[in-house]
Chain A
Amino acid sequence: MAAIHAFRARGITKCFGDVVALDGIDLDVAPGQIHGLVGPNGAGKTTLLGLLLGLAVADSGSLEILGTPVGRALAAPDGVAGFVDGPGLYPSLTARQNLAALAALRGRDSRAAAIGDVLDQVGLTDVADERTHGFSLGMRQRLGLAAALLGEPRLLVLDEPSNGLDPTGKRHVHGVLTRLAAHGTSVVLSSHRMDDVEALCSEVTIVASGRVVFSGPLGKLAAENGELDYRLLTSDPEAARRMAADTAGIGVGDDAAVLVVRALVPALDELVVRLVHANIAIRELAPVVSPLEAAFLALTEQPAAGR
């Protein structure tokens, strides 16, 4: 028997007046998957996340969340938690009181231990008893994640969860999301930070103008990509530059200070072999722009080209 999808969308369309926010979206997300949703501003990411959270209903199409078809009412099925456009917090309450009130509201475990546990997971134990009106954006994001965790969700929907996070906060959030996924919770997150998406997500969907222009594993995206620019640092830059220029399928950038080569992966592999045989040490070889970002730019700048 096939596992129940975290959600399955078919032909989802949503309009706000004359504006088409979602235009026939088809998308499946499997259980235990961290799925990234990327796209330019106004692409329809938040609208799609809002549909998953029950904040809006689609004009047409079908949406099934955790095996339950979504009706016309504004309400998310059980097991779905998260936030869009930032977490909702009440500034007159402390972090702990915000969570306790929310837990009591949902009839969940509002004992101090349960609240303390989620605060600890997101790294906010030290400020648990401070009013949230003084919280930074990153702290608010982490508290919003803690609030979502209280519901023990099977589908976690997060809009820009990395906004405002410092490296410590980012590590906490990534750790929480990875652990959740390992225990079978699906996570759908939108982000403009490609490094986050690449670090966290096993699959990604790129949306542009309300349509899906790519959906699948990150590896597939890299494979489908064309030539990329790579920065190459070696022990002998001049020899490496000459060798790159002599290698078939490789273009060399004009910047004399830094060696940048443009190539497909097979040509790049050939260059690496030649450098090693010539006893030139490779100190760094990294794409100037990540494959995801390159794909994002390529796909979203020409949305009409389709997938």
Chain B
Amino acid sequence: MTATVAIARGYRFELVKLISQWRIRLLVLACWIAPALFVAAVSQQSTLPVDTLFGRWMHATGWAGPLVLLGFAGTWALPLLTSVVAGDVFAAEDRLGTWRHLLVAVRSPRRIFAAKALASLTVIVLLVAGLAVSGTVGGLVAVGNQPLVGLDGHLLTPRDAAGRVLLAWVCVLAPTLALAGIGLLGSVALGRSPMGLLLPALVALALQLAQMLPLPVAVRLALPGYAFLAWNGLFTSPAELGPLLIGIVVSLVWAVTATALAYLLFLRRDFTNLAYDGSARRAVTAGVLPLVALGAATVVAVAATTATTTGSGIEQDKVQRSVATAFAHLYRLQTKQLNRPDVTEAQLTATAACNRGAGSVAAEGPGNDWRCVVSWHLPDIEATGTAIYQLDVTADGRFAADGDGPKEVNGYFLVRTPDGDAPNPLWQFDGNVDLLPTAPKG
């Protein structure tokens, strides 16, 4: 009779091995300390990382710091962390020549797989939690617990901002898990080959490059890395939950599928061969091809669910609505700065008229040649106010609006307030276009 090892004991064994590695210890330490120092240091600089979402608000509130970090983490840190942890958890045994030892001790390849997957998942969650907590602490200590300006210009109370920052970090766990699943698959399929270790980072890089291309909306949302961007939708009012939920579901489907494929490959490997470096043929037939099929299936499913097939999702009316909404919210902010009587968004009835290339090209799709003229009304004043913005709209729906005048409204980076000069919220701002079909917001 064979008594296999309980998964809980195997899990603890794998955790002990992972935590005993100096590079994992270093990563844990770095993830729990470095973000706080980074956010605190950047928040004290005169030049802010305005190219990164929420970077321009780092002087204003501590809640911008963890979001800047989240944008950076989705691009670089999380793929690399998953590479180091999940991409190596099986390959390490190949490198050390300990598979036979482990199999004799545990007596169940299934339980070895489960213990390793759970242990690597735990370490990855620990690292992500460290990034989130550390970045938040750094921001709050350096700048303070102030309201956060959302991506449509509306003001989130510190409590609301805290909830959404936490939710955003939880949401990016889904694409991180997708990369971790791919990492497990690479680690199992490619053995000691460095490609196994690098696979999650390479896949993440490929997904980022794909997101920069003018892909149809259905393809963009069906990519497992989309949730690294879709958390942006949490910072609008109402929240753009459609793309975020789709992104999370797609990521989780990828995570489960890649992990299941890794599991099947692992059960079929030859433990008697010390020089086993993976089977290229098996990696393709049991790893790559099923994932390609999954990619195609998710594109079809997303297209059917969202009723979108072709097109970028960036359309003139959506851009106009987004710009006008953000302008109205930020105008109220500027009004408050200038100590003027408050006006509501409803009173302003801001609208935007946007085109591309001075009307020479169709007003849709990504590009840096968008131009918008925003109009608004003030109570008891007959004249219509107008302001001009140059827009750079990227393929993922994010835009940066650059004020082009008049100087008193949006043409200069400072406004003169009773307390002295202050940053002009209408000068430049970031926004987001919901790529899915939407009804006009009230």
Contacts and interface: CB of A to CB of B under 8 A. Distances in A.
Interface stretch (B95-103, B228-236, B408-416): B95-103
Contact of A74 (B5, B101, B109): B109
Interface residues of B, number: 34
A130 to B, nearest CB: 14
Contact of A47 (B10, B100, B272): B272
Contact of B106 (A47, A73, A104, A105): A105
A78 B1 contact: yes
B104 A55 contact: yes
Interface in A55-93: 55-56, 68, 73-78, 80-93
Contact of B98 (A68, A73, A82, A88): A88
Contact of A54 (B99, B101, B103, B274): B103
B212 interface: no
A190 to B, nearest CB: 14
Contacts of B103: 54-55, 74-75
Contacts of B108: 74-75
Interface stretch (B17-25, B27-35, B218-226, B317-325): B17-25
Nearest to B18: A92
B13 A82 contact: no
Interface in B239-287: 270-274
Nearest to B98: A88
A240 interface: no
Given A75-B4, A76-B2, A101 B13 contact: yes
B12 interface: yes
Interface in A73-132: 73-78, 80-93, 97, 101-102, 104-107
A34 interface: no
Contacts, number: 98
Q: State which size class the interface on A falls in.
A: 35 or more
B271 A75 contact: no
18 contacts: A16-B270, A50-B100, A55-B104, A75-B4, A78-B2, A81-B104, A84-B100, A89-B96, A91-B96, A93-B16, A104-B13, A105-B5, A105-B9, A105-B105, A105-B106, A106-B9, A107-B5, A107-B6
Given A50-B100, A88-B97, A93-B16, 16 more contacts: A47-B272, A50-B272, A54-B104, A54-B107, A56-B271, A74-B107, A74-B108, A75-B4, A75-B103, A78-B3, A81-B104, A90-B20, A92-B22, A102-B13, A107-B9, A147-B101
Interface of A: 16, 47, 50, 53-56, 68, 73-78, 80-93, 97, 101-102, 104-107, 144, 147
